[in-house]
């Protein structure tokens, strides 16, 4: 069968160096991912190979071109993510949307997948948003970015970050240190996300001033949050009673985001995340956004790990239960 040949034209608005990478590193990354011929001359990209592979390559270069047009400088990790999304038929993302936030390093934080964009839009439009999906899909990170952006725009006066404290074979009471030191390992992922968006000195100052509060879920009982952006992380480890308690803390001019991964539940019985979906699914201003392996933006190996575990958890056909 004769190979399919396609010639793409790089728009004048796109810097070929940004598209191909320093010393053509991005071009080589794309070439190594497909069994096809890729050659670049001037503003022309020639593709030759099996029709399905050429179609995928065309989609990869189209997405990279649009990424550069949106003002980004693609990295090898971006190329790996795009290649993985194209191979799995992930929905293409419109990258023309505004950035959520600029970090103190000047790096733009924006959704990188169609699922992430739906998640961000849901947070903007709804008072309560549930983000449910596997590890690496940006549930907590994007929620934190939205919270920091809302604080900077003075849409809220404070940020509250909480998560359940679930022990894994070791009693919290027997860990050394003060209560704050005992809780630190549980809330450390929230600190990591926060300090990626604002420098550590500024972040610690906001925490000391009470503008940003990080606390375990057990400390939420009896409180009401007005004019606040509240994030409940690791919600798969809540009980239905804890979830009800948390959601009823909602006050005026506040926004709640609940994140969780049902596949990494450490408690037995019905979970708070599962019960909330069943009870609240039809209520206006509450949204559930499901993210999947196509929304994983960590190392591409993470997506394959998620796939492998999902496959391994399927019931074996032909075996008696």
CATH class for domain 101-312?
Answer: alpha beta
Distances (CA, A) of 124 to 37, 150, 320: 43, 10, 48
pLDDT, residue 286, reads: 97
Q: Name the DSSP letter for residue 217.
A: G
Burial of 127 (0-12, 13-18, 19+ CB in 10 A): middle
pLDDT, residue 71, reads: 77
SS3 label, residue 15: coil
pLDDT, residue 183, reads: 66
Average pLDDT, the chain: 84
- For residue 302 the two structure tokens come to 């993470």
d(CA 182, CA 99) in angstroms, rounded, equals 36
**Where does the chain have alpha helices with state H?**
16-20, 25-33, 51-69, 76-87, 114-125, 139-152, 179-197, 200-208, 240-247, 272-280, 300-312
Domain with CATH 3.30.1370.10 in the chain: 4-87
Choose among 127, 135, 155: nearest CA to 296. Answer: 135
pLDDT, residue 2, reads: 76
d(CA 61, CA 43) in angstroms, rounded, equals 13
Where the chain has pLDDT below 70, the residues are 1, 90-99, 102-106, 166-183, 299-300, 303, 313-321
Contact between 129 and 258 under an 8 Å Cβ cutoff? The reply is yes
Contact between 162 and 231 under an 8 Å Cβ cutoff? The reply is yes
SS3 label, residue 25: helix
pLDDT, residue 317, reads: 45
Q: How many CB atoms lie within 10 A of CB 99?
A: 15
pLDDT, residue 297, reads: 77
d(CA 4, CA 51) in angstroms, rounded, equals 5
pLDDT, residue 58, reads: 92
Q: Name the DSSP letter for residue 206.
A: H
Where is 255: in which H helix or E strand?
A: strand 255-260
d(CA 248, CA 16) in angstroms, rounded, equals 53
Choose among 210, 216, 222, 284: nearest CA to 251. Answer: 222
- For residue 39 the two structure tokens come to 């050659």
**Which CATH number among 3.40.1480.10, 2.30.30.100, 3.30.1370.10, 3.40.640.10 corresponds to the domain 4-87?**
3.30.1370.10
pLDDT, residue 168, reads: 46
Per-residue pLDDT of 252-307, as tens digits, reads: 999 999 999 988 887 788 899 999 999 998 999 999 999 988 888 776 677 678 77
Contact between 143 and 131 under an 8 Å Cβ cutoff? The reply is yes
Domain with CATH 3.40.50.300 in the chain: 101-312
- What is the three-state SS of 308-320? HHHHHCCCCCCCC
pLDDT, residue 47, reads: 92
Distances (CA, A) of 58 to 45, 73, 157: 10, 19, 46
pLDDT, residue 112, reads: 83
- Pairing of the two strands 44-49 and 158-163: unpaired
């Amino acid at each position: 069968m004769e190979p399919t040949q396609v010639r793409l034209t790089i728009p004048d608005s796109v810097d070929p160096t940004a598209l191909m990478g320093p010393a053509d590193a991005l071009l080589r990354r794309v070439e190594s991912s497909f069994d096809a011929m890729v050659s670049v001359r001037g503003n022309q990209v020639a593709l030759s190979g099996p029709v399905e592979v050429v179609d995928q390559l065309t989609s990869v270069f189209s997405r990279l071109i649009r990424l550069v047009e949106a003002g980004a400088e693609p990295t090898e990790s971006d190329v790996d993510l795009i290649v993985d999304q194209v191979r799995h038929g992930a929905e293409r993302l419109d990258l023309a949307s505004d950035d959520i936030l600029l970090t103190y390093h000047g790096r733009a934080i924006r959704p990188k997948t169609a699922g992430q964009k739906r998640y961000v839009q849901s947070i903007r439009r709804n008072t309560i948003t549930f983000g449910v999906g596997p590890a690496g899909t940006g549930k907590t990170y994007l929620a934190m970015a939205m919270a920091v952006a809302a604080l900077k725009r003075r849409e809220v006066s404070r940020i509250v970050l909480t998560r359940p404290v679930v022990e894994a074979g070791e009693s919290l009471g027997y860990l050394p240190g003060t209560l704050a030191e005992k809780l630190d390992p549980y809330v450390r992922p929230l600190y990591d996300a926060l300090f990626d968006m604002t420098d550590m000195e500024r972040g610690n100052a906001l925490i000391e001033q009470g503008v940003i509060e990080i606390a375990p879920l057990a400390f939420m009982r009896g409180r009401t949050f007005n004019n606040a952006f509240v994030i409940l992380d690791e919600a798969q480890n809540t009980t239905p009673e804890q979830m009800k308690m948390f959601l009823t803390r909602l006050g005026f001019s506040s926004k709640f985001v609940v994140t969780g991964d049902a596949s990494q539940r450490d408690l037995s019985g019905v979970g708070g995340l599962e019960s909330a979906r069943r009870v609240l699914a039809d209520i206006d201003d509450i949204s559930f956004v499901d993210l999947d392996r196509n929304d994983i933006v960590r190392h591409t190996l993470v997506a394959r790990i998620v796939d492998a575990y999902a496959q391994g958890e399927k019931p074996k056909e032909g075996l008696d239960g």
